[in-house]
Chain A
């Protein structure tokens, strides 16, 4: 039924409405809480993700009057808030990555199937990637992970972090360079031995 699409309010409509009818904000929650949860769980683990998502929406709600309604899509705004909140949990995030570095490679020795071998490569890279992420400056990591783990475009990442798009590119380049240097050009399989 085509009529339905017309009935779907844009994020900015909901935010505008929420200024007089706060319950409208719950619709934003329904739209994006899952997406934010997944992102946060990647960065700091599931233990505090739930709380962080809740906090994100409280902060967003409190700041709704300052939202620029010319942006129909609220995702960059929400990702910006969640990124700020994650930075308050830097130690949790660091511990999350440290735990990854220690996580043992699962025992797959009994199988020599190609698909499994590919999986091993990816798994073997995990401690290295985790180490690389832990070693990045927070601002570089924020850009890198928004680019890699959210669906935001560079422009939206810039919007989320409140920096020019050129800054997004330069931070991304720096972060990727560091990640690559940690990964090295060696085969992670060999490095484990």
Chain B
């Protein structure tokens, strides 16, 4: 008999399975890891704030940008002049589709990126209710003067709300929504759709409910009716698909996205009770999300802390009040005065609109 084989047999017979108490050593590692840091770092902040806050904050996609935010070099205004945490906070979340590599965006082809989803997240100073306002991409709005990627000026014009991003990037989208709502936006979050699937995977999937079977070759969806745990490309397709789901409009898609976010929030709450999972989640999120102006470690910790008491039911998902746009029935425009009323409730001071609205 081979001596190595005998040794291996002996080894197997001596082996013990790791006991559940091994987790204590993990705790020891995490505890040992913390005090060694000289500079307070993000995750330390998370640890102090407590899990609930972390999960909550993470789940609303808000501080998810985190860890290493991809900062944009030129913030729209001086970030120091802008309020953070424990004060009112307004975030503009853009779901972005990159059609060409990121490095080329801003290059010759300015049509490289498209924002398909636009949400204004409003957190009042007391953080009692978080309002998420979706703006349909087909909304016709006044786009203020912006600069394109080459620094060339784009004059004020009436256009599709999502064209602001395509033409002038995050800063132009921000300006457009600011002038439309009168709500001052503190940060713009660009969420890469492609990265979303990794975020969902880091959560171990997100549960969705389909009222009926869906088969959409374009989107790569083929699922029977009922509950599903979706991951990766499937999740992406679900969030992005427009056909064969709901009434096929952007509006039904918005509803679906909002439900998806709610479901993601719930999942995050149950899954991210573990620092390592939390870390994996943040890691993927930070890759997929770019903040402008970049959110710093302290700001994020502050936001997380301020959200400690927020539950899923404290979120209010709404779509901006709209009506068909007369010159083109395939487009929509803000419905007044309901839209302005909503913006005012969010602390905005909508611009005086004269004569025909939004024209």
Contact = CB atoms under 8 A, between A and B. Distances in A.
Interface of A: 1-4, 6-7, 9, 17, 20-27, 29-30, 33-34, 37-38, 41-42, 45-46, 49-51, 53-54, 57-58, 61-62, 100, 121-122, 125-126, 129-130, 144-145, 147-149, 176, 179-180, 183
Given A3-B233, A54-B29, A61-B29, A129 B10 contact: yes
B28 interface: yes
Interface stretch (B19-27, B89-97, B141-149, B211-219): B19-27
B3 interface: yes
Nearest to B37: A22
Given A23-B276, A33-B22, A129 B28 contact: no
A6 B197 CA distance: 11
A110 to B, nearest CB: 21
18 contacts: A1-B232, A2-B232, A4-B201, A17-B283, A21-B279, A26-B30, A26-B33, A33-B25, A41-B16, A53-B18, A54-B28, A61-B33, A121-B1, A125-B1, A129-B10, A130-B10, A144-B7, A149-B11
B22 A50 contact: yes
Interface residues of B, number: 48
Contacts, number: 147
Interface string B260-299: 0000000000000001101110011000000000000000
Contacts of B42: 21
Contacts of B16: 37-38, 41, 45-46, 49
Is chain A's binding surface mostly helix, strand, loop or mixed? helix
A24 B279 contact: yes
Tell me the interface secondary structure of chain B in the complex. helix
Nearest to B47: A23
B9 interface: yes
Nearest to B284: A7
B46 to A, nearest CB: 8
Interface string B15-56: 111110110111011101110110001110000000000000
A3 B232 contact: yes
A38 B17 contact: yes
**Residue of B6, B26, B42 with highest tally of chain A CB at under 10 A:** B6
A30 B276 contact: yes
Q: Which has the most chain A C-beta neighbours within 10 Å: B16, B19, B32, B37? A: B16
Interface in B61-116: 67
A58 B32 contact: yes
A127 to B, nearest CB: 10
A45 B11 CA distance: 11
A50 B21 contact: yes
A119 to B, nearest CB: 10
A37 B26 CA distance: 12
Given A23-B43, A57-B25, A183 B8 contact: no
Contacts of A148: 4, 7-8, 11
Nearest to B274: A26
B234 interface: yes
B11 A27 contact: no
